[in-house]
Amino acid sequence: MVAFLRGLDSPARDVKPDDVPAEWRVVYHERAAIREMCGGLPRELAEHYALLETLELMKPSVPCPTG
């Protein structure tokens, strides 16, 4: 987990939603759904942006919205 968080400043291209801790996966799915359903983005693009946002929110200075 610590190694994962250290890598958030420059996330690897192969980071997948399943690599994110469970409590943050909830945030990811919520953000992706909002982008797709309300924003009208295609699912793949909505998921891409949601993962980027979730990784940004995961930085140590930001508390988990679900916790």
The answer to whether position 65 is within a domain reads no
Nearest to 35 by CA among 48, 44, 46, 26: 46
The answer to whether position 33 is within a domain reads yes
| pLDDT of 11 strictly over 80 | no
- pLDDT tens, position by position, 15-60: 899 999 999 999 999 999 999 999 999 999 999 899 999 988 888 7
The answer to whether position 11 is within a domain reads no
The answer to whether position 2 is within a domain reads no
- The reported pTM is 0.72
The answer to whether position 53 is within a domain reads yes
The answer to whether position 26 is within a domain reads yes
- pLDDT tens, position by position, 41-50: 999 999 989 9
The answer to whether position 28 is within a domain reads yes
The answer to whether position 44 is within a domain reads yes
Cα 61 to Cα 66: distance, rounded to the nearest angstrom: 15
Q: Which long-range contacts (CB under 8 A, 24 or more apart) does 4-12 make?
A: 5/58, 5/59, 5/60, 8/55, 8/56, 8/58, 8/59, 9/59, 11/55
Please tell me the total count of domains within the chain: 1
Instruction: State the residue range of the domain holding 49.
Output: 16-57
Neighbours of 4 (CB within 10 A): 15
